[in-house]
């Protein structure tokens, strides 16, 4: 339900007008990453390691360089030669190592060299002329095997302060938190269940592959066009990796065909810039789908042990979890976040969570909406479901009984401010879906989910035109409808129609720094900045009106798009519309703009509850999702149909992750399913209609009450679907994906 | 004085202490004080931390005020997708 029937204190916020990018997208006019061209442009291609783990003994590029169509060849030697020096350490060094291998190829698909040629075909052909001599090393791709004492070491010295002594060098980060006494809590329980759960890596599966057009001269000045969730981080990272000044590289974000966290870093962009610098011509690189799968960030895979104690009345007396995540051949798997999110929905006296970040010979993991949280929910919510079944308790009532609320001490430490979990559970209980009868062979699953949300560095600029329209420049690429939301929030403050505001994603040369579009931060942080920038412009509009009327500025207020006297003592003047003030602004003090730059710190956490019905075919093991309802707290839905889209998108991606999607590695450590034919994402015919309920418990940290909604929607689906499938099949499913062969095996194992 | 609650994984760096008392009016001062009292906390703090003040999670800001008597938790730096 899209809130159309609700009354509101807002005029524009809470309505769902047409999207401003709609016409361009349906007519093919929108320019994506691969839609840029430049005079004299070359095409780049990247040579990738066929080995999961190998020392690079020698790279001979001479034959490729001699090819008539080849204008440049680069290897690691062509990047900033400053390993581990200040400015290129930590994550910058990891990213450099990932975009172009150094001494070792660390996973199947790791870039080892690149060429730029006059055509894409010539570039790909020229890759075959590069001779790489490898010394193949033992590899490991499984998280548990990577932690075992005999596992090959991926990189010595990568572990930080947090790792306890005696652990394998592949364990690079360790997290432990919680409160109370879990052993005492388990002793109080009437039922204790401990279980092990496993999830495979999945890819964000954005339809648009990575693509860019780069130009970099020997003067250190460059231009980069790319598909990205954050062009300032692309600017900063590329500048560091190429040893140039940040401000000399201008980066523009293209329209983006999906990101979901996977486009929050760089892959091909520094390579294209290095090729361009060497060839002295613009270079375009477009990844193939296979390259996207092999060399860009999938999620972590996970192995998890969860133990929960419950009293007969459903009270959880203790909860404990161990979460092991592999994040590829680099530190960064979100074992800490997995642990911190695992029990966050519940009000627990005794809780303990442990997370491990483990390296393996796989591509560097990247965020995928609420990184790490969906796996934790799968394990925890599965155990809770099993306990409800054993104790004969209603799964929503049990969650309500234990639900966190304002003032609850969170499993990760602090007390919650105002949160909306209970409201989502009450809405689930009241929803017709929850009481609808199931057919034979069907099962129902429930799950809650939690995500932190984020603020981040944000700059917004708003400029008024003489005719009273407005241009709004934001720096957060629009990955989920944010241009519409920004225009609605600006319209609300300015009091002019939504249609009169054009929102542009500014490039790095025309606006101050902006953090990546991640962490569900855009509607929150860019929205807050938009509201403040609009208020800034309104202050100036009031000043101009006051000057025209000859009254003090504090005697003027802004109402419904007009300056009006603030009271009867201020004078008797007709309301002065915005367009009357902007019409002659050039001669009454100059252009009128509003700005805001800050790092808002009040994102407000978010919760959701999902209800899923599934039907399992016992002969084939195929699962059908027959009904799906997403209930989530949005704080305040600025553009309700976009909010619904985020909810539905999370459910759709969750269905893929739960049922079919997985990275399949062979014994040789090579990825076996690097195309969409073999890596099965859900298509329209796999999905039911996905109902939504938008709960609105305002976030105290946002002027309109917004909470981010982009990530929480991916947290409950794995668990809710697993619970539905387990209840339908009559056997607990502890491993994802629940593909037909796994379901058949589980049914067989269950007799 | 403000009591700062650490996550339990940090106890190995503070001689077993999970609550550290510091004199600090801002989040930045708080982090500086923590490192002064327990130098081994420099590692995790440099790696990035977030701070919750009375339940409000401050992801990165060093200038956020810490009212006297507020409940303060150190958290791992949050990341998103």
- Smallest Cα distance from A159 to chain B, Å: 12
pTM of the model: 0.96
- When pLDDT is averaged across residues A263-289 and rounded to a whole number, the result is 98
Decide: helix, strand or coil at residue A673.
Answer: coil
- How confident is the model over A198-210, as pLDDT tens digits? 999 999 999 999 9
pLDDT per position as a tens digit, A664-704: 999 999 999 999 999 999 999 999 999 999 999 999 999 99
pLDDT band at A3 (very low <50, low <70, confident <90, very high): low
A437-483 confidence digits (pLDDT tens) = 999 999 999 999 999 999 999 999 999 999 999 999 999 999 999 99
Residue A81's pLDDT is 65
Phi, psi for residue A556 in degrees, rounded to 5: -120, 135
- In whole angstroms, give the CA distance from residue A134 to residue A593: 59
Kindly give, in sequence order, each residue whose CB lies less than 8 Å from that of residue A249, ignoring residues fewer than 6 positions away: A216, A221, A222, A223, A224, A235, A238, A239, A273, A508
Contacts of residues B46-53 at CB distance under 8 Å and 24 or more positions apart, as own/partner, are B47/A160, B47/A161, B47/B77, B48/B76, B48/B77, B49/B74, B49/B75, B49/B76, B49/B77, B50/B74, B50/B75, B50/B76, B50/B77, B50/B78, B51/B27, B51/B75, B52/A413, B52/A414, B53/B27
Using an 8 Å CB-CB cutoff, list chain A residues near B73: 413-414
pLDDT tens digits, A298-343: 999 999 999 999 999 999 999 999 999 999 999 999 999 999 999 9
Contact B57/A161, CB-based, under 8 Å? Answer: no
Q: Which residue has the higher pLDDT, A5 or B77?
A: B77
Report helix, strand or coil for A116.
Answer: strand
Q: Cβ B61–A177 below 8 Å, yes or no? A: no
Name the token pair of A322: 């161990």
Task: From A204, A203, A252, select the one nearest A232 (Cα to Cα).
Answer: A252
Instruction: Say which residue the tokens 């990275």 belong to.
Output: A663
Confidence (pLDDT) at A428: 98
Beta strands (DSSP E) in A327-398 are 351-358
CB contact under 8 Å between B43 and A456, yes or no, is no
Is A52's pLDDT higher than 60? yes
The C-alpha atoms of residue A495 and residue A706 are separated, in whole angstroms, by: 20
Helix axes A527-549, A482-494, angle to 10 degrees: 30
**pLDDT tens digits, B27-78:** 999 999 999 999 999 999 998 999 999 999 999 999 999 998 899 999 998 8
Task: Give A7's pLDDT tier (boundaries 50, 70, 90).
Answer: low
Higher pLDDT, B76 or A59: A59
Domains A409-453+604-749 and A458-598 share a fold: yes
- Taking contacts as CB-CB distances below 8 angstroms, the residues of chain B near A371 are 79-81
Q: What is the C-alpha to C-alpha distance for residues A251 and A524, in angstroms, rounded to an integer?
A: 24
Q: Please give the average per-residue pLDDT across A213-223, as a whole number.
A: 95
Contact state of B78 with A175 under an 8 Å Cβ cutoff: no
Distance from CA of A157 to the nearest CA of B (A): 15
Chain A residues in contact with B8 (beta carbon < 8 A): 176-178, 352
Q: With beta carbons less than 8 A apart as the criterion, state whether A197 and A303 touch.
A: yes
Distance from CA of A20 to the nearest CA of B (A): 24
Quote the minimal CA–CA distance from A503 to chain B in Å: 23
Closest listed residue to residue B78, CA positions, set A209, A338, A474, A633 = A338
Quick one: pLDDT at residue A568?
A: 79
Q: Could you tell me the residue ranges of all domains in chain A?
A: 409-453+604-749, 458-598
- Whether residue A519 and residue B55 make contact (CB cut-off 8 A), yes or no, is no
CA distance B29 to chain A (A): 17
- The residue in chain A having the minimum alpha-carbon distance to the alpha carbon of residue B74 is A413
Neighbours of B8 (CB within 10 A): 17
- The answer to whether A455 contacts B59, with C-beta atoms less than 8 Å apart, is yes
Q: How far apart are CA A6 and CA A439, in angstroms?
A: 34
CA distance A509 to chain B (A): 25
What backbone torsions phi and psi does residue A460 show, to the nearest 5 degrees? -140, 145
Question: What CA–CA distance (Å, rounded) separates A298 from B29?
Answer: 38
Cβ neighbours of A163 in B, within 8 Å: none
* Sign of the four-CA dihedral A705, A710, A713, A714: negative
Residue B2 distance to chain A (closest CA, Å)? 14
Overall size of chain B counted in residues: 81
pLDDT score recorded for residue A8:
75
- Among A264, A415, A602, the residue with its CB nearest the CB of B71 is A415
Query: Closest Cα of chain B to A408: distance in Å?
Result: 10
| Residue A84's pLDDT band (cuts 50, 70, 90) | very low
Q: Where residue A85 falls among pLDDT bands split at 50, 70, 90?
A: very low
How wide is the angle at C-alpha A300 spanned by C-alphas A295 and A306, nearest 5°? Answer: 170
Within an 8 Å CB–CB cutoff, is residue B19 touching chain A? no
- For residues A524-529, give the mean pLDDT: 98
Q: Is B75 on the interface with A (CB under 8 A)?
A: yes
Q: Strand pairing of A222-226 and A301-310?
A: unpaired
Q: Which pLDDT score, from 0 to 100, does residue A596 have?
A: 98
State which fold the A409-453+604-749 domain adopts.
Aldehyde Oxidoreductase; domain 4 (3.30.365)
Search chain B and give the residue with CA nearest A204. Answer: B81
What average pLDDT score do residues A105-114 get? 98
pLDDT at A417 over 60: yes
- The pair of structure tokens assigned to A426 is 């009450």
User: What DSSP element (H or E) covers A549?
Assistant: helix A527-549
Q: What is the ipTM of this complex?
A: 0.94
Give the burial string for A358-387 (b: 16+ CB within 10 Å, else e). bbbbbbbbbbbbbbbbbbbbbbbbbbbbbb
Q: What is the mean pLDDT of chain A?
A: 96
How confident is residue A90, by pLDDT bands cut at 50, 70 and 90? confident
CATH topology of domain B2-76: Ubiquitin-like (UB roll) (3.10.20)
Residue range A545-579, pLDDT digits in tens = 999 999 999 999 999 999 999 987 888 999 999 99
Task: Indicate the residue of A340, A414, A456 with minimum beta-carbon distance to B76.
Answer: A340
Q: Which letter, b or e, does each residue of A409-447 get, where b requires 16 or more Cβ atoms within 10 Å of its Cβ?
A: bbbbbbebbbbbbbbbbbbbbebebbeeebeeebbbbbb
Residues 35 through 64 of chain B touching chain A, CB cutoff 8 Å? 40, 43-44, 47, 52, 54-61, 64
Give the pLDDT band (50/70/90) at residue A113. Answer: very high
Residue A88, pLDDT > 70, answer no
Q: Is A161's CB within 8 Å of B44's CB? A: yes
How confident is the model at residue A701, as a pLDDT? 94
* Interface residue B79 vs chain A (CB under 8 A): yes
How many whole angstroms separate alpha carbon A530 and alpha carbon A551? 28
Out of A175, A177, A367, name the one closest to residue B80 (CB): A367
Averaged pLDDT for residues A643-652 = 98
Say what the pLDDT of residue A5 is.
58
Of B12, B40, B78, the CB nearest to A454: B78
Look at domain A458-598 and name its CATH class: alpha beta
pLDDT at A218 over 60: yes
Q: Do A454 and B56 touch (CB under 8 A)?
A: no
d(CA A482, CA A477): 8
Q: Say what the pLDDT of residue A86 is.
A: 46
What's the average model confidence in pLDDT over A396-411?
Answer: 98
Which chain A positions have a beta carbon within 8 Å of B43's beta carbon?
160-162
Q: Report whether A622 contacts A744 (CB < 8 A).
A: no
With CA atoms as reference, the chain B residue closest to A91 would be B47
The mean per-residue pLDDT over the stretch A359-388 comes to 98
Residue A6: band (very low, low, confident or very high) from pLDDT cuts 50, 70, 90: low
């Amino acid at each position: 339900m899209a809130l159309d029937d609700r009354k509101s204190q807002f005029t524009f916020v809470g309505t769902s007008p047409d999207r401003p990018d709609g016409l361009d997208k349906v007519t093919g006019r929108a320019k994506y990453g691969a839609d840029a061209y430049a005079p004299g442009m070359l095409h780049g291609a990247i040579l990738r390691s066929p080995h999961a783990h190998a020392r690079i003994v020698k790279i001979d590029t001479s034959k490729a360089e001699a090819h008539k169509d080849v204008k440049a060849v680069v290897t690691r030697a062509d990047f900033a030669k400053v390993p581990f020096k200040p400015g290129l350490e930590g994550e910058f060094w990891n990213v450099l190592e990932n975009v172009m291998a150094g001494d070792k190829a660390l996973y199947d698909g790791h870039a080892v060299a690149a060429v730029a040629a006059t055509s894409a075909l010539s570039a790909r052909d020229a890759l075959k002329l590069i001779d790489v001599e490898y010394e193949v090393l033992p590899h490991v791709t499984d998280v548990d095997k990577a932690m075992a004492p005999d596992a090959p070491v991926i990189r010595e010295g990568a572990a930080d302060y947090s790792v306890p002594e005696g652990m394998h060098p592949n364990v690079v980060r360790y997290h432990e938190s919680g409160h109370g006494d879990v052993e005492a809590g388990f002793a109080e329980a009437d039922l204790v269940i401990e279980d092990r759960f496993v999830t495979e890596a999945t890819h964000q599966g954005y339809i648009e592959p990575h693509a860019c057009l780069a130009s970099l001269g020997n003067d250190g000045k460059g231009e980069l066009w790319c598909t990205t969730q954050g062009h300032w981080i692309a600017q900063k990272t590329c500048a560091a990796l190429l040893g140039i000044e940040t401000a000399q590289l201008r980066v523009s974000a293209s329209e983006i065909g999906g990101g979901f966290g996977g486009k929050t870093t760089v892959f091909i962009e520094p390579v294209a810039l290095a090729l361009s610098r060497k060839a002295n011509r613009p270079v375009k690189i477009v990844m193939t789908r296979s390259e996207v799968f092999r060399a860009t960030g999938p999620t972590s895979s996970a192995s998890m042990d969860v133990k929960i104690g419950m009293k007969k009345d459903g009270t959880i007396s203790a909860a404990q979890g161990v979460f092991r995540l592999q994040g590829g051949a680099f530190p960064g798997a979100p074992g800490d976040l997995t642990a911190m999110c695992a029990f966050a929905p519940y009000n627990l006296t005794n809780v303990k969570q442990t997370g491990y970040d483990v390296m393996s010979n796989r591509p560097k993991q990247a965020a995928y909406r609420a990184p790490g949280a969906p796996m934790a929910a799968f394990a925890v919510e599965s155990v809770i479901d099993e306990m409800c079944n054993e104790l004969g308790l209603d799964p929503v009532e049990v969650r309500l009984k234990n639900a966190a609320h304002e003032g609850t001490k969170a499993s990760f430490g602090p007390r919650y401010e105002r949160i909306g979990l209970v409201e989502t559970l009450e809405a689930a209980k009241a929803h017709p879906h929850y009481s609808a009868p199931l057919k034979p062979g069907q099962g129902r699953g429930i799950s809650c989910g939690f995500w932190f949300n984020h603020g981040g560095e944000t700059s917004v600029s708003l400029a008024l035109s003489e005719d009273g329209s407005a241009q709004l420049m934001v720096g957060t690429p629009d990955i989920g409808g944010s241009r519409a939301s920004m225009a609605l929030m600006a319209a609300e403050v300015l009091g002019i129609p939504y249609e009169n505001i054009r929102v542009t994603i500014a490039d790095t040369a025309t606006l101050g720094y902006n953090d990546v579009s991640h962490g569900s931060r855009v509607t929150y942080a860019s929205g807050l900045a938009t509201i403040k920038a609009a208020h800034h412009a309104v202050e100036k509009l009031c000043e101009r009106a006051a000057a025209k009327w000859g009254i003090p500025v504090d005697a003027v207020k802004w109402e419904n798009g007009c300056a009006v006297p603030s009271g009867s003592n201020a004078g008797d003047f007709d309301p002065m519309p915005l367009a009357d003030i902007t019409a002659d602004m050039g001669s009454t003090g100059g252009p009128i703009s509003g700005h805001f730059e800050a790092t808002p710190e009040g994102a407000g956490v978010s919760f959701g509850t999902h209800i899923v019905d599934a039907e399992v075919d016992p002969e084939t093991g195929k699962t059908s999702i027959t009904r799906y309802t997403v209930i989530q707290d949005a704080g305040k839905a600025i553009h309700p149909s976009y909010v619904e889209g985020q909810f539905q998108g999370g459910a759709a991606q969750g269905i893929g992750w739960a049922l079919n999607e997985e990275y399949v590695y062979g014994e040789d450590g090579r990825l076996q399913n690097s195309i969409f034919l073999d890596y099965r994402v859900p298509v329209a015919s796999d999905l039911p209609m996905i109902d939504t309920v938008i709960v609105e418990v305002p976030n105290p940290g946002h002027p309109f009450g917004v909470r981010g909604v982009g990530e929480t929607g991916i947290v409950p689906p794995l668990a809710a679907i697993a619970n539905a499938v387990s209840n339908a099949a009559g056997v607990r499913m502890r491993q994802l994906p629940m593909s037909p062969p796994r379901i058949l095996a589980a049914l067989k194992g269950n007799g | 004085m403000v009591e700062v609650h650490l996550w339990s994984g940090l106890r190995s760096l503070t001689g077993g202490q999970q609550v550290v008392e510091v004199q600090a009016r801002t989040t930045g001062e708080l982090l500086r004080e923590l490192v002064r009292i327990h130098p081994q906390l420099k590692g995790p703090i440099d790696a990035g931390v977030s701070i919750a003040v009375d339940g409000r999670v401050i992801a990165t800001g060093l200038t956020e005020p810490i009212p006297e008597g507020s409940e303060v938790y150190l958290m791992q730096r949050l990341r998103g997708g």
